[in-house]
Amino acid sequence: MSDITALSASSLSDALAKGEISSVEITRAHLERIETTDGALGSFLARSEDALSHAEHSDVRRASGDSRSPLEGIPVAIKDVLCTTDMVTTAGSRILEGWIPPYDATVVRKLREAGLVALGKTNMDEFAMGSSTEHSGYHVTKNPWDITRAPGGSGGGSAAAVAARQAPVAIGSDTGGSIRQPAAFTGTVGVKPTYGGVSRYGVIALASSLDQVGPVSRTVRDAALVHDVIGGHDPHDSTSIPTPWASMTEAADAGARSENLAGLRVGVVKQLVGEGIQSGVTQRFDEAMELMSRNGAEIVEIDAPHCEYAVAAYYLVLPAEASSNLAKFDSVRFGLRVTPEGSPTVEDVMSATREHGFGDEVKRRIILGTYALSAGYYDAYYGSAQKVRTLIQRDFAQAFEAVDILISPSAPTTAFRLGEKLDDPLAMWAGDLTTIPVNLAGIPGMSIPMGLAPEDGLPVGLQLMAPAYQDARLYQAGATLERLFAQRDGYLVSERTPEVV
């Protein structure tokens, strides 16, 4: 068998079903890959000590005919924002250093019940606040395509791990693009499901009305397999949607079998293309539109005028909700506690702990959010931002009356150099231009690789968007496009191992 770590989750699943390989062999190969490459990349914050033991149990279940799911025995990396009872959960912050939760997140529980093998917890921007994984409280993660560049954020660890063959699939979270932008930067597939389609129970909250958990993979079908495991209603999450969901895997398989895109109406949001987009990204996007048109899709320009204000609205809604959510880290209940000298009050301890435990980006957003929620400013800032959000939702609802899916670049640029935007928060925030509207609208979004930018040879992502509840539509269209890109280029970007690793 070829290099185990180069195989997709689907291929590994088929090999396991045929008895050609064991979960222990697959898990050991990925653990060895992590051991040899993570010193250069920094994808992981913690590694499981029980991975091989869980793989052994998986092999026993398969041998006895008790396989739990198609992904039984497949390794998975988990973003460190999801609670795990057997590994630390820090959300990339020093304020939670060493904390082991008393319960698993629902998504983690579902992964375990489906027989997947957790390899470890992946690095992230602290409390998911960032677009480069440079704001982790522990270390910087580097892009496997070029270690001088960022892997995106906040879920750069999960995307880098999948791109570098450290894991066949991973779990991320997406508040304003934290799955899709890293996927674009690393040549992987990343999906933000419909808001409420995947449980947030046990996920350390950033902005509760925006956060959503989703898969990271190297193929559309692999993402679909993971989505089918983690999706569905959860009574522990009050925002979870109590409705049956179509099989994402069946949708991906149907898309892979489709000869073309005949009958598909594709909308191009004019506010998400053009100004501010890197020339190489624009070139690949234009080529993608031409490819779709040649293969039967109808391309329609869509005007979503309020998307122009999405970034401004988002950076009021998110900090306001983050300010509220992060109030729980008070030194009293759990996590870090810093006690000043003398006879400090509870307020003194709280202040010292938050000063020492939170990084600069987290403090910046807490201050901004607290101000936006303060007396006399609530309506002017947070309230106005929510009104803009409603207008964006209406823009998308109107757009989907005319088209089946919407498209845009997943990110305005390819991966930027580490440190390039670290001292310019506004430039960093502008990198979320194309992804943020999806979160504000609560609709599903997917990033798939559509080639390499000519000027730097780095991956470029195509973002697909669908109406709420129509996640399967993304998988069907995404799988067809993935095949068409591969036929055009002679390979999938996801099949190329970045030379640096």
DSSP track, 224-242: HHHHHHHBS--TT-TT---
Model pLDDT for residues 227-240, shown as the tens digit of each residue: 999 999 999 999 99
The whole-model pTM stands at 0.97
Q: Return the pLDDT at 165.
A: 97
Mean pLDDT of the chain: 95
**Cβ–Cβ under 8 Å, residues 407 and 142:** no
Question: Does residue 139 come out as left (phi exceeding 0), alpha (psi in the -120 to 50 range) or beta?
Answer: beta
Q: Does residue 178 have an active-site annotation? A: yes
Does the pLDDT at position 24 exceed 80? yes
Closest CA to 321 of 376, 270, 272, 382: 382
Catalytic member of 10, 48, 173, 178:
178
- 27-31, 255-259, 323-327, 340-344: segment of lowest average pLDDT: 340-344
pLDDT at res. 426: 82
Structural domains of the chain in order of their starting residue, each with its CATH number? 7-264+466-495 (3.90.1300.10), 310-386 (no CATH)
Sheet containing 405-409: order of strands? 44-47, 117-122, 75-79, 169-173, 213-217, 189-192, 445-452, 459-465, 405-409, 265-269, 298-302
Mean pLDDT along residues 196-201: 98
Cα→Cα distances 230→66, 112, 449, Å: 20, 10, 23
- The active-site residue out of 10, 67, 154, 258 is 154
- Tell me how crowded residue 308 is: count the other CB atoms within 10 A of its CB: 14
Average of pLDDT values for 466-474? 98
Based on the residue annotation, tell me whether 121 is a catalytic residue of this protein: no
Whether 429 has a pLDDT exceeding 90, the answer reads no
Q: Residue type at 135?
A: H
Residue 2 scores a pLDDT above 70: no
CA distance 210 to 207: 5
Q: What does the pLDDT read at residue 343?
A: 84
Please return the burial class of 289, using the count of CB atoms within 10 Å of its CB with bins 0-12, 13-18 and 19+: middle
What six digits make up the tokens of 124? 């992230």
pLDDT at site 501: 53
Q: Exposed, middle or buried, 473 (CB in 10 Å: 0-12/13-18/19+)?
A: buried
- Among 79, 110, 121, 421, which one carries the catalytic annotation? 79
**pLDDT grade, residue 1 (50/70/90)?**
low
- Using pLDDT thresholds of 50, 70 and 90, give the confidence band for residue 263: very high
How confident is residue 414, by pLDDT bands cut at 50, 70 and 90?
very high
Average pLDDT over residues 210-233: 98
497: pLDDT confidence band, cut at 50, 70 and 90? Answer: low
Token digits of residue 432? 């979320």
In total, the chain counts a number of residues equal to 501
- State the pLDDT at residue 496: 75
In this prediction, residue 311 has a pLDDT band, given cuts at 50, 70 and 90, of very high
| Cα(65)–Cα(334) distance, integer angstroms | 43
Could you tell me whether strands 405-409 and 265-269 are parallel, antiparallel, or unpaired per DSSP bridges? parallel
Instruction: Give the confidence band of 494 by pLDDT, cuts at 50, 70, 90.
Output: confident
What would the two tokens of residue 62 be? 């398969």
Mean pLDDT of all residues in 111-117: 98
The reported pLDDT for the residue numbered 124 is 98
When pLDDT is averaged across residues 106-118 and rounded to a whole number, the result is: 98
What is the spatial distance between Cα 438 and Cα 390, in angstroms, rounded to a whole number? 12
- Of the ranges 17-21, 159-163, 331-335, 366-370, which one carries the lowest mean pLDDT score? 331-335
pLDDT value of position 420:
94
Does 23 qualify as catalytic in the annotation?
Answer: no
